[in-house]
Amino acid sequence: MNPTYKKQVFIAFFIVFLLFVIVGSFFLFFFEKKDSSYHLDDLYVSFETSDILSIKNTLPISDTVGRNLDGTGTEDGVQGYVSFSVKNKGKNDIPFEIFITKQDVDNYTEIKESYVKLLLTDENNQPLKGFDGNSVPTFADLSFLNDKPSSKYIYSASLKAGESKKYILKIWLSDLYAISLNEERFSVDVDVRVK
């Protein structure tokens, strides 16, 4: 075989290999999944799946049904369901708060905030303060955070040293919503911070 031909084949393979490395790195960098756990000083927050909750306008449901949602149907957008834990790994009590931030729904029409129901429970499905009344609040009912005007306050508590608590946040479409032929969506990002 001609030495010049061998050199050209080697260079061609090297260029193809280099292109694969560059394209692979690009996809890893730009399309990497968001880590579902993080540390805030001595507070450790861990989501079982994702910290994003999304619903579509496919199935309005009653509060009675919504209170008992178990996470099945999240793939279809019928409900949003996220389970997460907050743990104090420090030696002192840590006060914290849970809040949500509305996300852009890209090319879809957004479901009105007054139709999006939310329920925060403990791991035993017991509603927490602010969610324990007869009616379930909507996204529109929640208070904005003073220092984060795009985010809404959900709950605050304090953990003792070494203590851990699990929370479940559910969202669904109110049965007062009249189904539209246009596909509509609503999405929020769940977050925790030290107070």
- pLDDT value of residue 194: 93
- If pLDDT is split at 50, 70 and 90, which confidence band does 13 have? low
CB 117 within 8 A of CB 135: no
Domain extent for 169: 37-194
Q: CA-based diameter of the chain, in Å?
A: 85
Closest Cα partner for 90 from 135, 39, 141, 31?
39
Q: Which pLDDT tens digit goes with each residue over 39-51?
A: 677 999 999 888 9
Q: Which pLDDT tens digit goes with each residue over 70-122?
A: 888 777 888 899 999 999 999 999 999 999 999 998 889 999 999 999 999 99
- pLDDT value of residue 17: 61
* Pair 41, 126 in one domain: yes
Count of domains for the chain: 2
* Pair 54, 108 in one domain: yes
* Pair 91, 28 in one domain: no
146: domain CATH number? 2.60.40
Phi, psi of 110 (to 5 degrees): -85, 135
* Pair 26, 117 in one domain: no
Which DSSP state fits 138? B
* Pair 27, 55 in one domain: no
Amino acid at 24: G
* Pair 129, 182 in one domain: yes
* Pair 130, 64 in one domain: yes
What CA–CA distance (Å, rounded) separates 56 from 119? 17
- Sort strands 151-159 and 79-88 into parallel, antiparallel or unpaired: unpaired
CB 89 within 8 A of CB 44: yes
Predicted structure pTM score: 0.77
